Amino acid sequence: MPAFKTLDDLTDIAGKRALVRVDLNVPVANGKVTDATRIERVAPTILELSSKGAKVILLAHFGRPKGEPVADMSLSLIVSAVNEVFSRKVLFASDCIGPDAKQAIDGMKNGDILLLENTRFHKGEEKNDPEFTTALAGNGDLFVNDAFSAAHRAHASTEGLAHHLPAYAGRTMQAELEALEKGLGNPSRPVVAIVGGAKVSTKIDLLQNLVKRVDALVIGGGMANTFIAAQGIDVGKSLCEHDLADTAREIMKEAKAGGCAIVLPLDGVIAREFKAGAANEVVNIKEIPSDAMVLDVGPKSVEAVSEWISKASTLVWNGPLGAFEIEPFDKATVAAAKHAAALTKAGKLTSVAGGGDTVAAVNHAGVIDDFSYVSTAGGAFLEWMEGKELPGVAVLSKSA
């Protein structure tokens, strides 16, 4: 467990401007937050700081807008969900630096909570640019990082700020690291990992190390399509990153050499439209029509995944097996979640799942309370599992 300062080290903060990095990158459909877990998890830190009289200024990203304002990635869309979870009125400023931010901060009273607009609307955020970081730091007297799920990013608001201001870990940051260490610090074998979802390019590299630490890697979702295509199989219009075929082949080679089983789908549920209730059918994974896309793994694959979960003593899971937000493409994810939950309840499995959408999926399956631990983090949790140093955590230790 890394040593860092926590909120317990913060005394006499009435009137101080606390810049708090949180992860509010929550799933949204039709303008509504569909899973508020990440908001709920940062509430203790924010309400504690507020009750001690700090002016609480929230920094967060939302989606991947690539350094420019994008209307449907505005954090204004989630303010009402934040108000609801905190049972408080949270103020909002339409920029995270500059005159709009300054005006809003100058108007704050002790204990107020202000959410600043998406930090990723500025190119300097992801570049960890010193000029942008200095501008952010100018709005605060201290920095609290409570965004464990973004701690694998060395961005201005997750890493840079800790070089400018006294830095502290928030309650969720602390709790996540403690829970992961307790559940997975010395995992009981066999360890089975399930990795699915859509963030193929940002997660595929970490599989290279993960296959050295687990006994089996079950691949589903968009990630699976990339591995299937890498074997020369046509995946039609499926979500797939063809330029990562070499990386996928390399991972399969390394897994084989190290004795880690790679489990890929045998069949898929295909459709021609990405929408709920779209006409669909099950096909062999080698027979995907060129005008169709795989939106879920099929029943034979679910059976195989369930068998691997049954063999596991420890399960780590990030990324849904299919497009679970649109029925009936949630079937495989729900079946796997229920199976893992039942084994956990029976005391036969330690199960840890994480990631913004994975949490939503496990919630959708109705079994979130039966998992051993559910992390808010996906990529960060897998990188932690790989044994990698997370920049957002490392900098807190250095500044302690």
End-to-end CA distance of the chain: 13
- Categorise residue 247: left if φ over 0, alpha if ψ from -120 to 50, beta otherwise: alpha
Burial class (CB in 10 A: 0-12, 13-18, 19+), 185: exposed
Distance between CA atoms of residues 335 and 370, nearest Å: 14
Angle at 358 between CA 127 and CA 122, to 5 degrees: 20
Q: Taking CB under 6 A as the rule, does residue 236 contact ligand ADP?
A: no
- Return the structure tokens found at 191: 């360890």
Distance between CA atoms of residues 42 and 249, nearest Å: 39
Q: Taking CB under 6 A as the rule, does residue 153 contact ligand X15?
A: yes
CB atoms within 10 A of CB 329: 25
Of residues 196, 222, 379, 392, which has the active-site annotation? Answer: 379
Residue 25 counted as an annotated binding residue:
yes
Q: Taking CB under 6 A as the rule, does residue 295 contact ligand ADP?
A: yes
Three-state secondary-structure class, residue 253: helix
Task: State the number of CA atoms in the 13 A half-sphere of 59 facing the CB.
Answer: 33
Phi, psi of 351 (to 5 degrees): -120, 125
Residue 339 counted as an annotated binding residue:
no
Task: Using the rule CB under 6 A, give the single segment among 29-37, 208-216, 332-340, 373-381 that binds ligand X15.
Answer: 373-381
55/152 with CB nearer ligand X15? 152
Task: Using the rule CB under 6 A, give the single segment among 5-13, 58-66, 111-119, 197-205 that binds ligand ADP.
Answer: 197-205
CA distances from 101 to 104, 106, 122 (A): 5, 9, 14
Taking residues 191 to 230 in sequence order and writing x for each that binds ligand X15 by CB under 6 A, - otherwise, the string is: --------x--x----------------------------
- Categorise residue 138: left if φ over 0, alpha if ψ from -120 to 50, beta otherwise: alpha
| CA nearest to 46, candidates 221, 172, 206, 183 | 172
Tell me if residue 199 is catalytic: yes
Of residues 16, 21, 38, 41, which has the active-site annotation? Answer: 38
211/382 with CB nearer ligand ADP? 382
Task: Using the rule CB under 6 A, give the single segment among 89-97, 145-153, 222-230, 345-353 that binds ligand X15.
Answer: 145-153
- Return the structure tokens found at 326: 């649109």
Q: Which of 104, 161, 239, 385 binds ligand ADP (CB under 6 A)?
A: 239
Tell me if residue 31 is catalytic: no
Of residues 199, 237, 272, 338, which has the active-site annotation? Answer: 199
Residue 61 counted as an annotated binding residue:
yes
Considering CB distances under 5 to 8 angstroms, the limit depending on partner class, which of ligand ADP, ligand X15, none binds residue 198? Answer: ligand ADP
Tell me if residue 322 is catalytic: no
Distance between CA atoms of residues 356 and 377, nearest Å: 7
Shortest approach of ligand ADP to residue 22 CB, angstroms? 16
Shortest approach of ligand X15 to residue 342 CB, angstroms? 25
By beta carbon distance, the residue nearest ligand ADP is 355
CA distances from 341 to 9, 307, 327 (A): 38, 14, 21
Considering CB distances under 5 to 8 angstroms, the limit depending on partner class, which of ligand X15, ligand ADP, none binds residue 222? Answer: ligand ADP
Q: Which of 32, 64, 189, 398 binds ligand X15 (CB under 6 A)?
A: 64
Tell me if residue 38 is catalytic: yes
Task: Using CB under 6 A, list all residues that contact ligand ADP.
Answer: 196-199, 221-222, 239, 294-295, 318-320, 322-323, 325, 355-358, 378
Task: Using CB under 6 A, list all residues that contact ligand X15.
Answer: 23, 25, 64, 149-150, 153, 199, 202, 355-356, 377-379
| Positions marked catalytic | 38, 199, 356, 379
* Residues tagged in the binding site annotation for (2R)-3-phosphoglycerate: 38, 120, 153
